[in-house]
Structure 1
Amino acid sequence: MLEETRSGRLAAWGNALLAGAVSPDEAASHITAEDARHRVGGLPGPEGAADDDVAGLTLALGRLRALGAVGLRLALPASGHPLGLSGPPEFNALALEAGEAVVASGTGLGLVPEVHEAGPATDGADPLDTHVEVVWRCLPVREAPPADVPSLAEAERELAEALREATQVLTRLDVAGSGPVADAALEAYRARAEAGRRLLAPGYPPRAVRVLELAQRVGALVAIAEGDGAAHGTAMSASQIAARAEALRPVERTARRAQVAAYNAGAEELERRRS
């Protein structure tokens, strides 16, 4: 939860492209971020049949727009919680395995990232260096309301309560701020919060940025509480660890739901403009 997902970047900057706020090259650059390369496989070709070849990200974004994409929506499913998915089972299973996906509304298509680490990307590079390549697998999806995605207003209300719950759990477990792991997690959150308004692309409403920032704050607290108890200065038994996980599960779910709501606000904004 402390790091922005690749699917989140694809949804955010893809929506900015569909809104005409950025160029295809600019969108692709932000989506790729620190990865070496992103490509898309399985996109339908001009005749409508799926193309087995992989396309560069810029070309693929243009093809999605030509296929009628009206918005890109994020899915962050977890076991027992198909958040943001609408089927069919084949796509849901791949998205669950990856922990993330993007649904291109209006096309009946969804994309799931496959992440590969490879050797040095350039000649003369340190042989110990690796670079990351991502292939987005494009598959049919069901055009239906996504599972369990709240509105921004609902997500904001739920997050306020989740923040209180997470703080109480941390306090009860005495891991509110001691130890190197807790310090590192809090520092990571602070750095992300400073850059929070850059997480979402142009065209997103301020409320979406606010919800995403709060979701990341809740996620930071969950990450601290889920860390090794000894690293926080607290010796914990197996039963205490299990109790902690049980207490944090609904908090983590709320933070994921809010993150999806924030990213999907861009697609909803596009739909409002067309209505």
Structure 2
Amino acid sequence: MLSEPRSGRLAAWGNALLSGVASPDDAALAIVGEDTVHRVDGLPGESVPVGLTLALGRLRTLGVTGLRVALPAPGHPLGLSGPPEFNARALEAEEAVVCFGAAFGLVPEVYAAGPEGDLHVEVVWHVLPVREAPPADVPSLGEAERELAEALRDATEMLSKLDVAGSGPAAEAAIDAYRSRAARGREVLAPGYPPRAVRVLELARRVAMLVSLAYDNGHGGAVSSAEMAARSAALQPVERTARRAQVAAYNSIVEERERGR
């Protein structure tokens, strides 16, 4: 969760395009990000994968008015609504985009080749049918913000107990990497998102960073299997809260529109 999910970029900039506050070219460039190319496979009426600009336009003509993010994990189908076949593909990818207004979902498949520093990354988004139903376990922005405040306290306390603050260069490098991402974070949510959504997303990422540190660096990494199990049990609710908040931030435009109907 430290890195921005591709489903988040697709949903955020897709929503900006669908809302008329971003151009097709700008949205496509932002979605691709540092990858080489994105294509969409399985669109109705298309026999071969197509580019993002064409795909987003086609989804709009099919009735799609918004895009939601799903970030499922084993035992936690966060943001999913079924059917089982789509849920299984999304769980394997650990992310997906669910359309609002038409019963489609998109699951990414990532192909990477080349040496580090010169990596060629292609992403194919597979379009699959979904069940039109409320997504599982997605809080409102307000609920997510309140939950995050408590999760941040829990994660900070866990770091203190594990003496992660003094665990050396690995912890410092992780903190520096988070700060670098945070400096770019204001570009993550596309035009049209409320400031509260940006705030919730940034806080969710901070909590996720702390959870990652607690997993990786407690007591210098020299822990027994029992200690590792106890740490995991303590951190799982915090990590789940961060993922719920992340989904709430990306989905906020669609949720507000649905409440206003």
TM range (shorter): over 0.9
2:167 is paired with a residue whose SS is coil
TM-score (norm 1): 0.91
1:66 partnered with 2:90: no
Q: Which residue of 1 aligns with 2:222?
A: 235
Whole-Å Cα distance in 2 between the matches of residues 140 and 153 of structure 1?
Answer: 31
Q: In the alignment, which of 124, 132, 146 is matched to residue 121 of structure 2?
A: 132
The equivalent of 1:88 in structure 2 is 83
Stretches of structure 1 that go unaligned for 5 or more consecutive residues are 46-50, 120-125
Residue aligned with 1:223, SS: helix
Question: Judging changes above 3 Å, is the alpha-carbon distance between structure 1 residues 128 and 7 closer, same or farther for their aligned structure 2 residues?
Answer: closer
**Unpaired segments ≥5 residues, structure 2:** none
1:6–1:31 contact (8 Å) kept in structure 2: yes
Instruction: Quote the offset at 1:185 in angstroms.
Output: 1.2
For residues 112-131 of structure 1, the aligned pairs below 5 Å read 112-119=107-114, 129-131=118-120
RMSD value over aligned CA atoms? 1.7
Contact 1:71 1:267 in 2 (8 A): yes
Q: Return the TM-score normalized by structure 2.
A: 0.95
- Where in structure 2 are the equivalents of 1:216-227 lying within 5 Å? 216-227=205-216
Q: In terms of mean alpha carbon deviation, does 217-226 or 186-195 score higher?
A: 186-195
- What is the CA-CA distance between 1:130 and the residue it aligns to? 3.1
Cross-structure match for 2:242: 255
Q: Is the 8 A contact 1:113 1:136 kept in 2?
A: yes
> Given the superposition, is the C-alpha separation of residues 177 and 11 from structure 1 closer, same or farther in structure 2, using an over 3 Å criterion?
farther
* Distance of 1:163 and 1:190 partners within structure 2: 16
Greater mean deviation of Cα atoms: 187-196 or 71-80? 187-196
Q: Deviations over 1:194-230 (max 9, x none)?
A: 2222110000011100100110010010010111446
Determine which structure has the larger helix proportion and give its number.
2
Per-residue CA deviations over 1:11-60 (Å, capped at 9, x if unaligned) read: 00000001101111100000000111000000112xxxxx3311111100
Count of aligned pairs between the two proteins: 261
Deviation of 1:87 (Å) = 0.1
1:192 alignment partner in structure 2: 181
Give the direction of change, closer, same or farther, for the CA distance of 1:236–1:13 in structure 2 (3 Å limit). Answer: same
Residue 26 of structure 2 is matched in structure 1 by 26
Distance 2:143 2:32 in 1: 31
Deviations 1:94-127 (A, max 9, x none): 00000000001111000000000135xxxxxx89
Q: Tell me if 1:17 matches 2:17.
A: yes
Paired with 1:128 and 1:201, the residues of 2 have a C-alpha distance of: 27
Paired position in structure 2 for 1:44:
44
Tell me if structure 2 keeps the 8 A contact 1:86–1:146. yes
Tell me how far 1:237 sits from its aligned partner: 1.6
Q: Which residue of 2 aligns with 1:104?
A: 99
Matched AA of 1:191: S
Is the contact between residue 167 and residue 176 of structure 1 (CA under 8 Å) also seen in structure 2? no
